[in-house]
Amino acid sequence: MNSLSTILALADMTVDPQRTATVVVDVQNDFCEGGSLAVSGGADVARAITRAFDSPRTFGKIVTTQDWHIDPGSHFSSTPDFKDSWPVHCVAGTTGAQLHPNLTLPRVDARFHKGEYEAAYSGFEGRLDEPGLRLDDRPRLAQWLLAEGIDTVLVCGLALDYCVRATALDARRLGFETVVLGSLTAAISAEGAALTREELADQGVRVL
Question: What type of residue sits at position 63?
Answer: V
Name the residues annotated as catalytic.
Answer: 26, 114, 163
Please state, in angstroms and rounded to a whole number, the distance separating the CA atoms of residues 178 and 173: 10
Q: How many other CB atoms are there within 10 angstroms of residue 183's CB atom?
A: 16
